[in-house]
Amino acid sequence: MQNRRDHTKQIKSEAARLGFLSCGISKAEFLEEEAPRLERWLQQNMHGEMQYMENHFDKRLDPRLLVDGARSVISLLLNYYPEKKQNDQSYKISKYAYGTDYHFVIKDKLKELLHFIRSEIGEVNGRAFVDSAPVLDKAWAARSGLGWMGKHTNLLTKDVGSFYFIAELIVDLELEYDNPVTDHCGSCTACIDACPTQAIVQPYVVDGSKCISYFTIELKNEIPSGYEDQFDNWMFGCDVCQDVCPWNRFSKSHKEPLFDPKPELLTNSRKDWEELTEDVFADIFRKSAVKRTKFTGLKRNIAYLKNKD
């Protein structure tokens, strides 16, 4: 018991040193409550063309299928809220994609944390996950007491809102487990009322196939007509449901230089974006998550927004 307590303390202390906002730990076991929700969401085709969401159903719900002998899921939050933001009148990208692709930044920190665990505690079998494997990040973070799932299905905390990344280490080490926190959304429906495409079909349920983030990032075909006036100038992702959330009044600027944007991202006008060349795209978004939609995808999104004018 003492060992477990000491190991937990060591891990949380090192996570803070590495710059993580917070660290919570839960027992690696089957996500019983999430199973019917995920099944229902898939059956109703709310994942649209995101076919990968249908894969590895069992692994998404049980971390022991991802790491042999898994005992603990260590959930971590990393703040990405920017100090400076884009011009609201220009075409916009989601704040999480302002700087270097978070996969690279967090993966390096997770590797350091796992190395620390192995050097300080001993031979530990574990894997790092950053939104790139069948892991239900938000469910684990909520279980680990790092926040509650808001009505927009993003994780929320009273201290800093929701502008942060979630990552995990799944390890075969027994640790002290945290308890979930209570829901503090109350009767607020700000996110539901503000969603430009009415993608939040009911509290705690998002139809992914109607979300602007889905249209501008995940959808590989043409964006369906009829949404032109609802895109609110978003050319990559969308932050509306988070921007209107009262808890995000408490968001604090990140301290990670790698998340700082290129100056052009903040100053470009609509005309600049409409005249974007492949070379300029490669320069501005060299190591950015925006590369996921590729130059052709971003040009498609910009053309779609331009059509409404």
| Whole-angstrom distance, CA of residue 122 vs CA of residue 10 | 13
DSSP β-bridge partners for residue 76:
23, 167
Q: Same structural domain for residues 120 and 43?
A: yes
Q: Report the pLDDT value the prediction gives residue 48, as an integer from 0 to 100.
A: 66
Q: Same structural domain for residues 271 and 238?
A: yes
DSSP β-bridge partners for residue 156:
148
209 SS3 class: helix
For the entire predicted model, the pTM comes to 0.93
Provide the domain count of the chain: 2
Using only C-alpha atoms, what is the Rg of the chain?
A: 20
What is the domain extent for residue 291? Answer: 190-307
Q: Same structural domain for residues 48 and 123?
A: yes
Q: Report the pLDDT value the prediction gives residue 196, as an integer from 0 to 100.
A: 96
Residue 185, domain member (yes or no): no
Q: Report the pLDDT value the prediction gives residue 56, as an integer from 0 to 100.
A: 64
From the list 131, 183, 232, 260, the catalytic residue is 131
Q: Same structural domain for residues 293 and 149?
A: no
Q: Report the pLDDT value the prediction gives residue 139, as an integer from 0 to 100.
A: 94
Q: Same structural domain for residues 256 and 157?
A: no
Residue 47, domain member (yes or no): yes
User: In this structure, what CATH number is given to the domain that contains residue 21?
Assistant: 3.40.109
Q: Report the pLDDT value the prediction gives residue 117, as an integer from 0 to 100.
A: 96
Q: Same structural domain for residues 229 and 128?
A: no
Cα angle 38, 46, 141 (rounded to 5 degrees) comes to 45
Q: Report the pLDDT value the prediction gives residue 227, as an integer from 0 to 100.
A: 86
Per-residue tokens: 248: 């995000």
Q: Report the pLDDT value the prediction gives residue 27, as an integer from 0 to 100.
A: 97
Q: Report the pLDDT value the prediction gives residue 57, as an integer from 0 to 100.
A: 73
Q: Same structural domain for residues 281 and 240?
A: yes
| Whole-angstrom distance, CA of residue 42 vs CA of residue 47 | 6
How far is residue 302 CA from its own chain's centroid? 23
| Cβ atoms 184, 159 nearer than 8 A | no
Q: Same structural domain for residues 219 and 74?
A: no
| Whole-angstrom distance, CA of residue 100 vs CA of residue 71 | 32
229 belongs to the catalytic site: no
Residue 182, domain member (yes or no): no
Residue 137, domain member (yes or no): yes
Q: Report the pLDDT value the prediction gives residue 154, as an integer from 0 to 100.
A: 96
- What average pLDDT values come out for the chain (309 residues) when binned by 10 residues? 90 97 96 82 73 70 92 98 92 96 94 96 93 85 97 96 97 97 97 96 93 93 88 95 97 96 93 96 94 95 85
